[in-house]
Structures are given as C-alpha cells and as structure tokens.
Homo-oligomer: A and B are copies of this chain.
Amino acid sequence: MPAQFGRHQPMLDAAVAALRLRECWSPFPEIPSGKIYGDCAREEGAAGFAALKDKPFDLPGHPETHRLGAEVSPFGGDLGITYPAAPVGGLIAAAEAARPAFAAAGPQARVGVCLEALSRLNKISFEMANAVMHTTGQAFAMAFQAGGPHAQDRGLEAVAMAWDEMTRFAADARWEKPQGKAAPIVLEKHWAIVPVGLSLAIGCNTFPTWNSYSGIFASLATGNPVIVKPHPAAILPLALTVRVLRGVLAEAGLPSDAVLLAVDAPGAEITQDLATRPEVKLIDYTGSSSFGAWLRANATQARLFTEETGVNTITIAASDDFDGMCANIAFSLALYSGQMCTAPQNIYVPEGGIDTDQGHKGFDEVASAIVAAVDDLLADPARAAGVLGAIANPATLDRLARARGLGRVLRDTAGEGRIASPLILALTEDDAACGDECFGPVSFIVAVKDADTGIARAADLARRKGAITAALYDTDEARITRAIAAFTQAGVNLSINLTGAIYVNQSAAFSDFHVTGANPAGNASLTDTAFVTPRFRRVMWRRPVH
C-alpha cells in the first residue's frame, strides 16, 4: 500500500461513510483559530502571502516559455506575481507525457496523493485565505472558510466519491459456471481502471478553489492529468494548489506534470484553444451560460461538467419569525456583496402582504423590513466590511450602476472603490429585469398576486433559466408541500424557513449536493456519482483457470 494512502485511509473511510449518511461532517476545521491551526498560523499565513508578492512564483519543473500575471487585489494594490506560462501545445504535450505513468499508478497511489495534498493545503489555509481574499474580494473570514477548509472538503468529497466508485465492483473474480455432470467452466477475471484522458479545470474569479477542487481532485483520483486554467484575476489560489500537488506527486514518484497551471492574460485567453484540443476528454467549468454554451457547441470531444448562470429566488408566503426572517435574508443578500452563485436575487412577496408573528404585513412593510435589516447588518463599518468584502470584477460595478434604473429603488447601493452594499429594487412580476441573472449585489423584491403565484414564478424561472438555490418562508404546511413538489420538479434545492446562523447561500460538502444538474444552472452536481463515473472506464481480461 502506498504510504500516502495508508496514512490517510482513516480519513478516506470516514469521508466515504459521510457521503452515504449526508450528515454534518468535515475533517478540516472551518474556524480560523490559532488553537486549531497553531498559535502563529494567522501571522505565518500573512507573512507567507506577503513573501509571494512582487516575485516570480516558483513552480519547479513546470513548463515555462515566458511569465504572465497581472492580478490586482480588489482591496487595492497589484499582487506583482508572475507565473510560468507556456503555449497550449506545450502544456498538452507535458500532460500527455505524464499520462501513462499516472494511469499506471493505480487508484491507491493517486488517491494517496490527493489526500496528502488536501492535508497540506489544510495546513496552509491561512496563506490560502490571504491569496483568496486578495484575488476574489472576499472578506478574510469567508476567504479562509470558502477558500480553505470548505474547498478542501469539496476536494475530499470528490476523492471519496471517486474511490468509492473505483472500488464499487470486485477488481478480480472467479467465474464458475456449472456444466451439469461435467466439470464447471472456470474463468479468472480482472478489471483495470482506465482513465479517459486529459482533464481541464476552468476556474472562476470568485471562488477559485471551492469551485475547482471537486473537478481537479475527481480527475486526479481517477487518473487523468489536470490542466488547471485559472481566471486571470484569480491565479494565486490555484497556483498554490498546483504547487502543493506537484510536490506531493514528486514525493510519490509520480510525474509532477500530472498537474499543470495554464496561465493566460485578459484579452489573450487560451481557454478556447485548450478546451477544444482532442487530447482533452474532461472539462470542469464554472462561469457564464454563454461560455458554457460555447463549450457545449465546440468542445464536443470532451465530457463537460458545468456550473452556470441562474436566478435564485426567495418566496415569502408567511412567517412565524418576521424579524428572524428579515435578518436572515439580509445576510444572504449582503454576504460577499451577492457574488455567490447561491445568493438570492428575486424575492417574491404577495402584493396583498403576508401574515406574520407580528400581524399582517403589507408588501411595502415587508420590503421595508428587509431593507432595514440590511441597513442594520451593515451599520457597523467593521462588520459591514467583514460581510461585504469587495467586488471581484469591475464589470460587476458597471452592471450595478445600470441596474439602478431597472425599478423603484428601495435601498440604494453604497460604497467606495470596490465596495458595494446591496441595491434593492421593487419590481412587478411582469418586469423583464427579474427574468435573468443580474450578477452582483442586486436584488428585486417582486410583487406577485399571491404566494402560490410566487412559488410558481420561482419554480418556472428555475426550470427555464436555472437556479442553484430557492428559499421559502411559509407557515401553511399544505402550501409548503406544494412548494416542495414545484421546486423538486424544477430541479432546484429548496431551503424552508431559515433563520439564525444558517443561510440559503450555504452548501455543505458531504451533505448538500451543490447544483442538482436538473436545470440550466449546471449539469454537474458536487459531488454525486455522475460527477466521477465519466472520468474512467473498466477494462477486463479473463482466462480459464485450470
């Protein structure tokens, strides 16, 4: 048994068990505490990040013909880091050269590499938090959790799923067929796990690790070399990841080039070239539906796993905790300035208002209470900074500015530079604006005839335009049952009556399947069986036993 595998097998076994149970589980503590990560972990992480800045990033042995990198922190300042870059042909050739040895290494060795790499990534979670913060604009606490332990959870989840699937059927069998009074026919049979080819991971700007680890680790565990193509504005978190993986690969005696970094520059992107190379058989993609459609039409040689555009909704039908509801919604709208793929956009409220524990509330009262809850959440500047973070992409600020004209402004956005608090508009259900994603800190409170209409609108939108999350506040159990049926048929996960410190935005590895694959918001679910099965095949040889 490979040493790396043996060392981490208890964690792997626990992860496989957790997958089945879907309960709360993680081996990677989410609290950025010195008690857990070491007394000096925070300072060491900051120092580690500082030491990376304004230097060439070191990736020993990586293909390199030139250097690229122009990251700018959304909190201000150039990172000044350059990364090794190489032509697409050179990257493909290097990955292809690594392929046979990586395939031949077998599941245990590769899973061992993945588990060891995840453990090492966990140890550098503070450094990663800084890298994620200063490329995505996430506030530190979120950058730590989402960029560190929660991303590691998603990576481990994918490794566990891949391992469970690769070992699901016997690798060897004795097939003995009775022949009446004659001697039975006896064959020995053996099955090999055969990886499908090169894998391309296309990262996004907002969650470079969380959204990419599932695909990267699923492909590595199943034996496919991975070319990691980061968003040009968020290279560092994935460069750190690639460095850790290459180091672990080398220690295991496997080719480091089983993981490569494909850096490009804005305006000179190499993604289309990479994605359509015949050697590339798997693509994991997070991003817009428009580029998703391009990949579907053009990268037909590869199996495509996507998370794409969607419109997430909240339907408010009634509440037995009106204040708790408003506070919960306010946090979901404000967190990372609405830049999560799980953030709600459309909030459907009956035009005649709703019943609550505080009596009947008219539409305007509900809208005002949500606005007030957002204001309250962001009243303290330090807390506001910790919740909002910064805007990752300047294009989001442009979209935000344009969005102010889409409806009646209930709450205007505020902020300077890359900081932007939620813009909240009132719309009617016929306004076209609420029919598409408006990515960023923009939400629409939409008046609907009644609660059932809101549910129908939300479910229909999920079915047509995609949605990753839906939320419902209601006290009528019969209507809740109808809503569950409607959202289930629309293929969107539903959260009901969330209050307190749990939010519709949150998706926990080992329990929540992130994205259902059942509506246009993506065809892949993190991490179900369908996410790993297309990454390898089984091939048999059999012969008689004499």
Contacts and interface: CB of A to CB of B under 8 A. Distances in A.
A168 B499 CA distance: 31
Given A525-B538, A538-B528, A544-B499, A169 B20 contact: yes
Specify the main secondary structure of chain A where it touches its partner.
mixed
Contacts of A332: none
Interface residues of A, number: 63
A538 B22 CA distance: 13
A259 interface: no
Contacts of A189: 22, 511-512
Contact of A539 (B493, B530, B543): B493
A543 B175 contact: no
Given A173-B511, A491-B194, A516-B537, A168 B20 contact: yes
Contact of A169 (B19, B169, B191, B501): B19
Interface string A448-489: 000000000000000000000000000000000000100111
A105 interface: no
A44 interface: no
Interface string A508-546: 100111001110000001001110011001111111100
A382 interface: no
B502 A540 contact: no
Contact of A487 (B23, B530, B541): B541
B23 A174 contact: yes
Taken together, the copies of this chain in the complex come to 2
Interface string A144-179: 000000000000000000000100111001111101
A508 B189 CA distance: 12
Contacts of A187: 502
Given A194-B489, A516-B538, A497 B168 contact: no
Contacts of A21: 170, 173
A295 B493 CA distance: 32
A116 B177 CA distance: 26
A196 interface: yes
A194 B494 contact: no
B542 A534 contact: no
